[in-house]
Amino acid sequence: MVDEIRASTRETASATGVRELSERVTAAMGRVPRHEFVPPSLAAQAYANRPLPIGAGQTISQPFIVALMTELAAPGPGSRVLEVGTGSGYQAAILAELAGEVYSIEIVESLARRAGETLGRLGYRNIRLRVGDGYRGWPEAAPFDAIVVTAAPDHVPPALVEQLKPGGRLVIPVGPQSAVQELMVIEKLPDGRTVETRKLPVRFVPLVRERKPEGR
């Protein structure tokens, strides 16, 4: 799997600006057992470089995309990272290998519960999970050194930009469900301004929002 990720990284280097994955990210991809995060019936396919269904209309992302988004987010030792869209918990585990604290939000309760069980069984103690609307972020834990969004909204949620620490990076796929989206990196400068870079065409499941009560 890691060799395929390296090959994909080289193939997309002109678009992403990432020619080689760092040793830290490569090592994390090698340590986390992806088969633990997929349904048992798909365990034999766990290390293929492609997304797989995990139930509730959601997927575990292609390993290359997980590695690339992690590289672009650049979490460092001791950093605080927010993930929007826990899903299987796999991306959270990769981030937890590299960061000090990971805060992860999942709107589908059954997925959040299953991810929590898997991450606990594997011994991850630096991940906090919450069931909720990731569009709003996790304001009481902010600011974050990095934010990784694993589902695509049709625009960048303002709350996530607000919760990003100066010098931090937000990695997010943006675009409509019916079309190809773009993987974007938004970096917050020390003065609070942001710089936006479009990296790669991608296709993610849509970012699910909480439904507002009728009449509001």
The CATH fold assigned to 2-202 is Rossmann fold (3.40.50)
Q: What pLDDT digit, counting tens, does each position of 5-45 carry?
A: 999 999 999 999 999 999 999 999 999 999 999 999 999 99
Indicate the domain borders of the chain. 2-202
For residue 158, whether the previous peptide bond is cis, meaning omega lies within 30 degrees of 0, is: no
Please tell me the distance from the alpha carbon of residue 140 to that of residue 205, in angstroms, as a whole number.
27
> What integer best gives the mean pLDDT of the chain?
95
Are 156 and 211 a contacting pair, CB within 8 Å? no
| Burial of 31 (C-beta count, 10 Å sphere; 0-12/13-18/19+) | exposed
pLDDT at 4: 95
Q: What pLDDT digit, counting tens, does each position of 160-200 carry?
A: 999 999 999 999 999 998 788 999 999 999 999 999 999 99
Whether residue 216 has pLDDT greater than 50: no
Please tell me the distance from the alpha carbon of residue 49 to that of residue 1, in angstroms, as a whole number.
6
pLDDT at 212: 58
Active centre residues (catalytic): 61
pLDDT at 91: 98
Between the alpha carbon of residue 92 and those of residues 88, 150, 158, 213, the distances in Å are 9, 10, 22, 31
Q: What pLDDT digit, counting tens, does each position of 94-133 carry?
A: 999 999 999 999 999 999 999 999 999 999 999 999 999 9
